[in-house]
């Protein structure tokens, strides 16, 4: 039997901690903390969240005030609004959406030593300043 995805309706207000082990759509209001570590959280167009959010993937169509952390992806759609810091390996932000904060996309591979690479790149960048434009 096909299970209906879990959802929190428009008129529902939750103050506190919300966690679970299935995908969830929020159309109501949540103030506090949300954890869906291995699942997808969708904040619907009517959703109003003031919370720290952690999930596998987060899709935002409504409003979020708080930090978002995803192990896979954060996706802010056109109607979405986020004020907070995002940590995720992949972040998609649609034109027309609102965002204020920082976006931290972690590296999975080990970092390259800074000094040698930076110096070489600076030389490359300096060497690249040629062309048909007027240089002053």
Partner 1 sequence: MTSSASESLRAGEPGARFAEIVYSSKTLAQFLTLLFSRPSAELVDLGPVVGANVAFISERIGCKIHVEDLYADLDRHASEGTLDRFAEFLERRLALPDGSADAVLCWDIFDYLSPAAASVLAGELKRVLRPGGSLLAFFSGGGPDDGCYTKYVIENDWRLRLRSYAAACHRERVLHNREITTLFAGLELFGSVLLKSGVREVLFCKPATA
Select the span of 2-10, 12-20, 45-53, 109-117 touching partner 1 (CB under 8 A): 109-117
**Residue 70 touching partner 1 (CB under 8 A):** no
What's the distance, CA 52 to chain centroid?
Answer: 12
Tokens 């929020």 -> residue = 26
Of 79, 85, 117, residue with least CA distance to 98: 79
Name the residue nearer to partner 1 (CB basis): 1 or 112.
Answer: 112
Site size toward partner 1 (CB under 8 A) is: 38
**Residue 120 touching partner 1 (CB under 8 A):** yes
The dihedral over CA atoms of 15, 17, 21, 22, expressed in degrees to the nearest 10, equals 20
Name the residue nearer to partner 1 (CB basis): 17 or 78.
Answer: 78
């Amino acid at each position: 039997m096909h299970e209906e995805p879990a959802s929190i309706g428009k008129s529902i207000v939750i103050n506190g901690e919300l966690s679970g082990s299935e995908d969830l759509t929020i159309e109501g209001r949540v103030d506090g903390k949300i954890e869906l570590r291995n699942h997808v959280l969708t904040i619907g167009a009517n959703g109003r969240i003031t919370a720290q959010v952690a999930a596998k993937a987060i899709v935002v169509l409504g409003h979020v005030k708080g930090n978002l952390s995803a192990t896979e992806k954060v996706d802010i759609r056109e109607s979405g609004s986020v004020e907070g810091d995002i940590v995720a390996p992949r972040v998609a932000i649609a034109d027309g959406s609102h965002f204020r904060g920082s976006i931290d996309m972690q590296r999975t591979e080990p970092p390259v030593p800074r000094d040698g690479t930076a110096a070489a790149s600076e030389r490359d960048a300096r060497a690249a300043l040629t062309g048909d434009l007027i240089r002053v």
